[in-house]
Structure 1
Amino acid sequence: MAMATKAARVLRCLPAWSAALSAARPCVVGKASWLAPNTIRRFLTTNKVHGLFINYIDYCRPHLFARPSSNSMIDAMLDFLPDDDKERRRWWWSVLDHSNGLLLCDMGTPELCVCNPATRQWTFIPWAWRRVGGIYLAFDPAVSPHYEVLVIPAVPEPEKPAKRVIGKGSEEKPLLDPLFADEDNDTRRLMESEWPPTPWRLNMFSSRTGQWEERDFIRQGEPAGTIGDMLVDQAEPSGMGPRQRYAVYYQGALYVHCRGFFVLRLSLSDSTYQVIKTPSYGENGVFVKPYLGRSEKGVYFGVIEESQLHVWILSELSEQQMGWVLKYQHDLAHYAQHVGKYDRQMDAHWMVRDVLDTDHEDGDVAAITLPKERFDWDSDNDDFFTIKLDADEYPKHFDILGLHPYKEVVYLTTVFDVVGYHLNTSKVQYLGNSRPSPKSYYYGHSNGIFEAFVYTPCMVGEVIEGNIDQTSS
């Protein structure tokens, strides 16, 4: 205990950036033996939400939406990632997943990137792009400094039926010749096959070995259904929304919202998996954007349908069965209308940091100067607002951006305005407008948000030593 107290005093005396480096490499501040790795991990992990990394529709790179700070060690634009190598020039890239302070990024090239915005460490992972159901990150610094990247296979789809042209200029019609009966039988067998299969072979990358490997996972319990059942659920949203479904790594298991209206629970310790049906949503034909995430009590699933917010928590219903229990149900219509109508009259504590300010006649660019304000968002002591509106006002719609991982707070957006909604009290905090500067993100009807990831910094986790690319071949 005395040694840990001494370490805390030493780190408090260092600049923020030095403290971050000390977490990744203890020898920076002295002998590594004076503080055990587990003590460092406990001391430097945080339950503070720093902001949200957002991928924008029709825009080249993600941004961090957060309370600004002039002395924050977090690189909001991930400018430490190399982008001037001709062989690796990246014009369009995005965040795929976030796990306890690490980001998994699609760099728009035949490789993935795992990086830590707090310690500015990064590494590239080779990847032969193919059709997949999703790519996700599993990392828990309280357990291990190593991480895994898992690839969820796509649901197989039958090939389009053979066609022939009958007569010149006529339309193509399905070919019904008996010669193709075997092809029809193959399609039928595929559609009636159970999904997911067991064993289920997944591709995994481990930072411990620096290599991809194949691992078989054994199913516990029943499958989600047949492949035909899975295909009823569309592969991607029909409107603006997440391009791959969300996942959360919690207590040694990766929970993934999969195509086919189920959540997959992958246990990485014993290579088993379970299928957990999602709560019912979207049955009234209204397009919704479901969200799977972690909050104070565990794994949550939320949807908003016609301004009605529903949040379930995953619970153990019996000894071997897990299911969803409705935890919260709120009507958000008045709040959405208020934010959309009066947002300019409210203080905006959070903002989006753009890379450069290009408002110069000579074409030169200059870095944006951030205001000196307290960065950390205190969800208990920030500004709240309450409203009273006429019942006949037309309600606007919220979407879920994320969940506070340690408090019962959900982040909601209507267009680009973002609020923190307290599920226990129905209190609302206006955070700000998450749209990048119009100088870099033009106004258009297609603009919007693809995905958002609630970011909690982590000062540990050996992503890479010394920012040297250690991509394995």
Structure 2
Amino acid sequence: MLRVDLLPLQLDGFFGNPNDYEHRPSFFAPPSTMSRIITAGRLSDFFDTFGYMSIADHCNGLLLHGLGQLTVVNPATRQWAALPAFPSPSASSSSSSVVDDQLLLSVGNQLIVYDPMVSPQHYEVFVIPIFYTYTTSDGDGDGDGDGDDETQTQHLAADYSADQYWPPSPYTIHVFSSRKWMWEERSFVRQGDPAGTIADMLSCSDSRSLEEQGVYFQEALYVRCRNDSVIRISLSGDNKYQMIKSPVSRTGVGEYDLSYLGKSEKGVYSALLHEGGDSCPQCRVWLLNEFCGQMEWVLKSKINLQSVAENIPLLQFANKYRKPWIRDYNAKDELEAPAQDQLDGWDSDDGIILEITDNKQATTTDWEIGMVFLGFHPYKEIAFFRVSSTLVSYHLNTSKVQELGPIYVTEVERSFPYTACWMRDLFENNY
């Protein structure tokens, strides 16, 4: 029998990656969680020991750190494990190809899968191969600097063409198993129709599309692709995968619109954040409805972020007696443990319902740096945003908004909702 108190059953905070190599990842959480995870767990000691390490993924309490040496970390128990070196690509693998000294098929993103209810003592790491475009200093690719920067799409790996479906079938992925303590290749066969070609992937203008987002839910791994479609990889043993088309058309997405994939109370969710231009900033959220193998995106909520921004002072006044969330700063000497009288729990049901305006035009031009989608609550239908340097939560069902504290973090590139897991039988090393 598993001890329920050891399992990741609540949202404890957010980890965030910086967008430079001078800072370590930050942590934003209620004071009570900050005391348990950061102060008692001395997470800052880990970052000081290993230097800069970008968080590649999080799943049920385990962080996967990338940039060369892959390392799995449990911040709650102060334990970690360095994985064996990633194997060199084989001729039969679709993990990488080089043409004219241009690497066009990357080993892709690293995603960790850990389900303590299925296998409490083991985890797996998936390296997803992806196509990407190669940019040189000018349009002719000779590097002489003549001409404007252009993205080179005319060269493809020898075995591929622009009109070929992507991912291929079978789809070969490198997987690390902590049970076997080794890397291996696994091939997955597509069920159903494809959702795009290599040309579709290369034509996507979203720079964040190189950061494929992964979600683990009920023995399946969902991976967002460059054209906003989703790969559903079954991990139940049948070696199948299925393509799920995007809830929006990429042709109708603006320059500043960014899509996200996440997990919440009822399964897999997709969010599209519109944060630029002259129109009102908003976020649309869809729920993936899975029924008898059929996948359908259902619009869950349309959030008016302009109304949220305009009512930040009202939100702060309504929550003036609540202790705000705090941040573990990048510099170790700035980290201060919260006083005992500051420790409190977080009531996720708190908040107020704002008056929604009908304005269709933005009243400020600073949305690009003022609006950031941080993620979903894993167990409640709540979305989190940074709005005007303030962390807010938004209930998808009730439109209730809660101000959680100032979050003066402009350098965060990507955030990860964190759920602490106190299982101690995964690693041998402590930090």
TM range (shorter): 0.7 to 0.9
Of residues 261, 270, 273, the one that matches 1:304 is 273
User: Partners of 1:388 and 1:324 in 2: how far apart?
Assistant: 25
Offset at 1:70? 8.6
Distance 1:121 1:377, change over 3 A: same
User: Partners of 2:161 and 2:230 in 1: how far apart?
Assistant: 22
Of residues 62, 76, 79, the one that matches 2:44 is 79
Counterpart check, 1:232 vs 2:207: no
Of residues 128, 134, 140, the one that matches 1:152 is 128
Determine helix, strand or coil for the equivalent of 2:38.
Answer: coil
State the match for 2:328 in structure 1. 353
Determine helix, strand or coil for the equivalent of 2:32.
Answer: coil
Counterpart check, 1:101 vs 2:68: no
Higher normalized strand content (fraction of residues): 2
Alpha-carbon contact 1:115-1:121 (below 8 Å) kept = yes
* 1:327-383 Cα shifts (integer Å, max 9, x gaps): 22232211123338986996461010226565xxxxxxx852322233432202x35
User: Partners of 1:331 and 1:289 in 2: how far apart?
Assistant: 16
Distance 1:135 1:407, change over 3 A: same
Counterpart check, 1:250 vs 2:210: no
Counterpart check, 1:271 vs 2:244: no
**Structure 2 residue identity aligned to 1:81:** F
User: Partners of 1:412 and 1:71 in 2: how far apart?
Assistant: 20
User: Partners of 1:464 and 1:184 in 2: how far apart?
Assistant: 44
Distance 1:415 1:463, change over 3 A: farther
Of residues 332, 335, 341, the one that matches 2:305 is 332
Determine helix, strand or coil for the equivalent of 1:194.
Answer: coil
User: Partners of 2:398 and 2:206 in 1: how far apart?
Assistant: 36
Counterpart check, 1:45 vs 2:27: no
Of residues 28, 40, 44, the one that matches 1:65 is 28
Alpha-carbon contact 1:201-1:214 (below 8 Å) kept = yes
Of residues 378, 382, 386, the one that matches 1:405 is 378
- Unpaired runs of at least 5, structure 1: 1-37, 173-182, 359-365, 437-446, 469-473
Determine helix, strand or coil for the equivalent of 2:192.
Answer: coil
User: Partners of 1:271 and 1:415 in 2: how far apart?
Assistant: 45
User: Partners of 1:228 and 1:390 in 2: how far apart?
Assistant: 39
Alpha-carbon contact 1:355-1:368 (below 8 Å) kept = no
User: Partners of 1:164 and 1:265 in 2: how far apart?
Assistant: 36
Determine helix, strand or coil for the equivalent of 1:457.
Answer: coil
State the match for 2:183 in structure 1. 212
Counterpart check, 1:374 vs 2:322: no
User: Partners of 1:170 and 1:152 in 2: how far apart?
Assistant: 33
Offset at 1:284? 4.7
User: Partners of 2:235 and 2:400 in 1: how far apart?
Assistant: 38
Alpha-carbon contact 2:371-2:387 (below 8 Å) kept = yes
* 1:31-69 Cα shifts (integer Å, max 9, x gaps): xxxxxxx332x3422422111111123352111101113
User: Partners of 2:139 and 2:256 in 1: how far apart?
Assistant: 33
User: Partners of 1:220 and 1:98 in 2: how far apart?
Assistant: 27
1:131-150 equivalent positions in 2, closer than 5 A: 131-145=106-120, 146-150=122-126
Of residues 16, 39, 55, the one that matches 1:54 is 16
Alpha-carbon contact 1:224-1:262 (below 8 Å) kept = yes
**Structure 2 residue identity aligned to 1:61:** R
1:29-44 equivalent positions in 2, closer than 5 A: 38-40=1-3, 42-44=4-6
Alpha-carbon contact 1:49-1:377 (below 8 Å) kept = no
Distance 1:351 1:385, change over 3 A: farther
User: Partners of 1:243 and 1:162 in 2: how far apart?
Assistant: 21
Determine helix, strand or coil for the equivalent of 2:244.
Answer: strand
Alpha-carbon contact 2:35-2:337 (below 8 Å) kept = no
Determine what percentage of the aligned residue pairs are the same residue: 38
Alpha-carbon contact 1:139-1:147 (below 8 Å) kept = yes
Distance 1:275 1:243, change over 3 A: closer
Determine helix, strand or coil for the equivalent of 2:309.
Answer: helix
Offset at 1:462? 3.0
* 1:227-261 Cα shifts (integer Å, max 9, x gaps): 11221113623xxxx86132210000011111132
- Unpaired runs of at least 5, structure 2: 89-95, 97-105, 148-153, 275-279
User: Partners of 1:164 and 1:394 in 2: how far apart?
Assistant: 42
User: Partners of 1:430 and 1:344 in 2: how far apart?
Assistant: 9
User: Aligned-pair RMSD on alpha carbons?
Assistant: 3.6
Of residues 231, 237, 254, the one that matches 1:285 is 254
Determine helix, strand or coil for the equivalent of 2:257.
Answer: coil
Determine helix, strand or coil for the equivalent of 1:111.
Answer: coil
Max radius of gyration: which structure? Answer: 1
State the match for 2:99 in structure 1. none
TM-score w.r.t. structure 1 length? Answer: 0.72
User: Partners of 2:266 and 2:24 in 1: how far apart?
Assistant: 33
State the match for 1:434 in structure 2. 407
How many residue pairs were aligned? 387
Alpha-carbon contact 2:80-2:430 (below 8 Å) kept = yes
393-402 or 257-266, which deviates more: 393-402
187-196 or 339-348, which deviates more: 339-348
Distance 1:119 1:387, change over 3 A: same
Of residues 396, 406, 412, the one that matches 1:449 is 412
State the match for 1:361 in structure 2. none
Alpha-carbon contact 1:105-1:114 (below 8 Å) kept = yes
Of residues 55, 78, 90, the one that matches 1:120 is 78
TM-score w.r.t. structure 2 length? Answer: 0.78
User: Partners of 2:139 and 2:255 in 1: how far apart?
Assistant: 34
